[in-house]
Amino acid sequence: MNSNNLNPHDDSFKFSEKRGKLNWKALEELDIAKLQREVDINQLERLLQNVTFALLEKDPDMKRMRDKNLIKLFKLGQLTTEYVIYTQSIAEKMAEQRQREHETKYKEAIEL
């Protein structure tokens, strides 16, 4: 993932400057049903990188913004949001588990 919005001394989130062009060919070739069926996280993350940090401009991007591509972008956004929610849930569970382990170890250390 792009870490331009992460500063080790500042925990606040910042949106990154958008650069580069959207890879319309990759989007046009995307088979959303296959991506979902195969749970292809690698492909999702590759597309996510490009879509997230691409700078969309009226010309030539609007010429390629046909209904089919717009629907794919929207569905890709849905899958991405679902994946982010899943990863946040896993991260929270891991943090809770580490906290419980820490508390257990702390109690054991106090008893010694």
pLDDT at residue 60, rounded to an integer: 66
Ramachandran sector of residue 27 (left: φ over 0; alpha: ψ -120 to 50; beta: rest): alpha
Neighbours of 83 (CB within 10 A): 15
pLDDT at residue 61, rounded to an integer: 61
pLDDT at residue 1, rounded to an integer: 46
Burial status of residue 75 (CB atoms within 10 A of its CB: 0-12, 13-18, 19 or more): middle
Contact status, residue 43 vs residue 35, Cβ threshold 8 Å: yes
pLDDT at residue 11, rounded to an integer: 77
For residue 22, report the phi and psi dihedrals to the nearest 5 degrees. -70, 135
Q: What is the pTM of this model?
A: 0.65
pLDDT at residue 71, rounded to an integer: 86
Each of the 112 residues of the chain gets a pLDDT tens digit; together they read 444 555 556 778 888 888 888 888 888 889 999 999 999 999 999 888 888 888 877 766 666 667 788 888 889 889 999 999 999 999 999 999 999 999 999 988 988 8
Q: What angle do CA 34, 45, 20 make, to 5 degrees?
A: 115
